[in-house]
Amino acid sequence: MLPIDLTGKRALVAGVADDNGFGWAIAKAFAEAGASVCVATWPPALNIFLNLIERGKIDESRQMPDGSLLTFERIYPLDAVYDALEDAPADVRENKRYKELGDFSIDGLAQRLVADFGEQPLDIVFHSLANGPEVKKPLLEVSRAGYLAASSASAYSLVSMVQRFGPLMRPGGSVCSLTYMASERAIPGYGGGMSSAKAQLESDTRVLAFEAGRKWGLRVNTISAGPYASRAASAIGIIQTMVKYCAANSPLPEELEAREVGTTAAFLASKLASGISGSTVYVDKGYHAMGMAVTMPAGTEQISG
């Protein structure tokens, strides 16, 4: 028997704001495998997330196999487009959703982790962060600011996190992120420069695997997940069409479940995956292997540029 055992490990999952997306499923899978879990949440969503937990609104989603409720060691504020607090403009720092939170930058989170848990507090870091303010625009219409914003939030944030969290991780640590197949194939409707950001993320994964592996003994991988209709993904505008299309045309003709991504993340963080680094691991029902559509499911719209 080869169980996924993360007992005694501490995981940080950055990008959890509700119980609906991959970040939640990943955090829960880590906890089911025995890890202690901290999460980091975008400041504008933090109070809503805390209220959902405190008022029992997501208790059903928090149910663990042993009957207990999923709990987090800490829930931290994090806006990963800022490496340090001084990088945030004054209007952001003074915004009512930010001003009482202290240092919400990546560097601030690193300092809080050390203050709360000691010099090497982490074994696992999972980057579940992405944002493209112009994601509904085709690439031909994306502004420079929108393109760079997508890259900053969705790709460079991983580099910044590894820079700052790498020294805080114990030997044998695991870093992982979420990517999407638009990094390597054209997906009409997935715009705003997000396809470019995901390509950057995958390239950076390979380079970080080498650099962080040699410097700190860390493994760095990314999971290429199929489309999933989370609340965050609704910003794309065509997510339901993407889900139905992929389910109809995948080798396994069914919709992806968030838990399938979560359990893959737990595997990659465990000793069972000690030989895997610098890899893009597909969790998409095999859709990435297809070169031709089988069918267009009823009720899906034709996507155009």
Binding residues for NAD(+): 15, 91-92, 129, 198
Q: Which of 184, 133, 128 is nearest to 161 (CA)?
A: 128
* Radius of gyration in angstroms for the set of CA atoms belonging to the chain, rounded to a whole number: 19
Kindly state the tokens that stand for 199.
Answer: 């390509």
Distances, alpha carbon 278 to alpha carbons 56, 162, 205, 211, 281, in Å: 39, 14, 6, 10, 10
Q: Which of 76, 67, 84, 58 is nearest to 11 (CA)?
A: 76
Report how far residue 268's alpha carbon sits from residue 172's, in angstroms, rounded to the nearest whole number: 12
Edge-first strand order for the sheet with 36-41 is: 75-77, 36-41, 10-14, 122-127, 169-179, 219-225, 280-283
106-117 vs 157-165: helix axis angle to the nearest 10? 30
Distance of CA 286 to the CA centre of its chain: 20
Which position has the token pair 């410097």? Answer: 215
Q: Which residues are annotated as a binding site?
A: 15, 91-92, 129, 198
Q: Which residues pair with 10 in a beta bridge?
A: 36
Helix (H, G, I), strand (E, B) or coil at 122: strand
63 and 87 Cβ atoms separated by less than 8 Å: no
Q: Which of 156, 190, 228, 287 is catalytic?
A: 190
Q: Where are the alpha helices (DSSP H) in 157-251?
A: 157-165, 194-216, 239-249
Q: Which of 76, 180, 245, 287 is catalytic?
A: 180
Is 190 one of the catalytic residues?
yes
Is 282 one of the catalytic residues?
no
The residues carrying an active-site annotation are 180, 190
